[in-house]
Amino acid sequence: MILKASQRSGAAQLGRHLLNAQDNEHVEVHEVRGFLAEDVMGAMKEAEALAKGTRCKQHLFSVSLNPPENEDVPAEVFEGAIESIEEKVGLTDQPRMVIFHEKEGRRHAHVVWSRIDAETMTAKQLSFFKTKLQEVSKQLYLENGWKMPEGLADKSKRDPRSFTLDEWQQAKRAGLDAKTLKTQAQDAWAISDDAKSFVHALEERGLYLAKGDRRGHVAVTYEGEVFALSRLVGTKAKDITAKVGKPDNLRSVAETKQHIAQSIAPRLNSFIKQAQGLANEALSPLKVEREAMRQTHAQERKTMAKCQKERWARETKERANRLRTGIRGLWDRMTGEHAKMVKRNELEAWHGLKRDREQRESMLEAQHKERRKLQGQFRQTRERHAKQIQELHKQAANYRLMRDGEQKPMREQFSRKARQTNEQGQSRPSRGLDLSR
């Protein structure tokens, strides 16, 4: 289970993110503990108000728990992981909130602790919490029999395509996939021998080399987003300078955006919009099915919760009726029958809680399996769209290198590939996404 954590402020903003039902298909407030408020936003306000009595600027400790992609992890495992984190970093018995998010057939958890000790009015010190969380993460992989990522076991084998939250958010704003973006940049770096070939390889992938305002070399996407090249490629700045040269002779970011708008966009815009239209056309029925599935799953959960609540009330009443009152009740206390019955009731209540949780987890597992199957269709469609867009960028990069006599074969070749394949993998007729037309 991958653990990502940060000390932070901004309680209201964090609370809205945790309750965001737009980007998450299901949101469940699992626990609010140690606060007078019983809801997340109320607890956030309470934590912020308490922090104002101290000098602490980052009064919250937020941790996300992400299990392996294809694993159905029960709530008990998340709870055990949270307890381990709490003990390891020194937040035992501190007020906390636990929220589950579900998206694309996967469930992950967010935990937020208040760092403020109400008795001493000081913030809990969280020294070396990243190192401590890595230890907890490794232990969770071992305890649950999951395959541990190589980068977690050995830092030298970390996935070079991993990205930070800021990079992910930046890519999302541009409608890009952060991992795909890094893969494309690193492919361009690997296949190029010098500055000229590297620039050409980047342009074939919709990236343009430029001189950054604060950094040396940056990559500007076709959409106008700017990324530090060393982070995209996964190498040191001095290695980039050795291959590409100093950035002084490159266009600035503003000039590069202007170059894209004047020289590249006129040839690409209409074709990219047409490709996006084809992708939206293919995704539209899948989105309808996803929303219908979300509503069905939500109703199933609501129905099960109602039935379990009614059964719990009925069983609680039956257990209470076993405890006799009056003279008979007094006799039961004297003979020890009352204590035996109380113990029996407690045991049955515990088994009832366990049964209800297992039933719910079984239902969630079936729902996640169904949702992951649909997500596979989303992934295939998006991959086809990404390949089509890359083909457009590749043709645009090579367009200026082609002689007029070479344009017709390229047009015919691209027209055959432009149309997306259908769900069964069979080719469909082209709609003529051709940069040379």
Tokens of 429: 């007729």
Quick: pLDDT tens for 345-382. Answer: 999 999 999 999 999 999 999 999 999 999 999 988 88
What is the pLDDT, as a whole number, of residue 432? 41
Q: What is the CA radius of gyration of the chain?
A: 28
How confident is the model at residue 155, as a pLDDT?
A: 57
What are the domain boundaries of the chain? Answer: 2-157, 165-251, 274-418
Per-residue pLDDT tens for 75-99? 999 999 999 999 999 999 999 999 9
Classified by CATH at the fold level, domain 2-157 comes out as BirA Bifunctional Protein; domain 2 (3.30.930)
Looking at residue 405, its pLDDT comes to 42
Parts of the chain with a pLDDT under 50: 157, 159-161, 401-437
| pLDDT given for residue 164 in this prediction | 58
What local confidence, expressed as pLDDT, does residue 195 receive?
Answer: 84
